[in-house]
Amino acid sequence: MGLFATGLRLIVAGLLAVFLSGAMTVRAQDQGVEATALEPWQSVITSQIEAFRTRDAAAAFSYAGAGFQVAFPSAEAFFNAIVTAGYAPIMESRSHSFGRFQKLGDKAVAQEVKFVGTDQSLYAAIYMLAEEANGWRVQGVQLAKEPGVGI
C-alpha cells in the first residue's frame, strides 16, 4: 500500500505540473457566469467531499477509483488513510468551488477545486478522475495550502 500511494502521488504530482504549466490547451469555465449544471465528474467530487465532511466512510470510498478499491481492505481503512495522509482540510472545509478543468482524453479529467477551511484558510486541489465502468471515480488528489484568507 505504501508503494502504491507513493507511485500514485508521483503520477498526480506530474499531472498537476502539466496542468498548471499551461502546456496543454485548457478549457476554462467562465468565471463571470454562474454554472447551472455541474459536469458529471464535478458531481462525483462534490458527493465525495460531502461524504468526507459528514464522516461517511462508505460513501466517500464508493467514489474512489478501482485502484483504491483494491488497495484498501475496507471503507474505514481508506477513510483513516486519507485523514492521516494530510487530506483533513478537505473534510474540515466549509465550502468548495470548481476552477479550471482539463480533459485528458475521453475518459479522464484533471479538475481544480478550491477550499475554504473553517478557520478561513485556503486550499487548492487538483482532482484526477477517470470514467470507469460504474461512472466517474476519483483516482487521486493533490492538495496544497494557499496564501490568503477565504471569506
Give me 101's grid cell: 478543468
Largest separation between any pair of C-alpha atoms in the chain: 44
Predicted local confidence at residue 18, as pLDDT: 39
pLDDT band at 72 (very low <50, low <70, confident <90, very high): very high
Beta bridge partners, 29, equal: none
Predicted local confidence at residue 36, as pLDDT: 57
Q: What is the pLDDT of residues 81-110, one digit of tens each?
A: 998 998 999 999 999 999 999 999 999 999
Beta bridge partners, 27, equal: 101
Distance CA 62, CA 11 (A): 22
Q: What is the pLDDT of residues 6-48, one digit of tens each?
A: 444 444 444 444 344 443 333 333 333 344 578 999 999 999 9
Most confidently modeled of 12-16, 133-137, 146-150? 133-137
Q: E strands along the chain, which residues? A: 93-103, 108-117, 122-132, 135-146
Q: What is the pLDDT of residues 46-59, one digit of tens each?
A: 999 999 999 999 99
For the segment 102-123, the average pLDDT, to the nearest whole number, is: 94
pTM greater than 0.85: no
Predicted local confidence at residue 37, as pLDDT: 78
Pick the CATH number of 2-19+38-146 from 3.40.1030.10, 3.40.50.2300, 1.10.1040.10, 3.10.450.50: 3.10.450.50
Predicted local confidence at residue 100, as pLDDT: 95
Domain boundaries, the chain: 2-19+38-146
Beta bridge partners, 36, equal: none
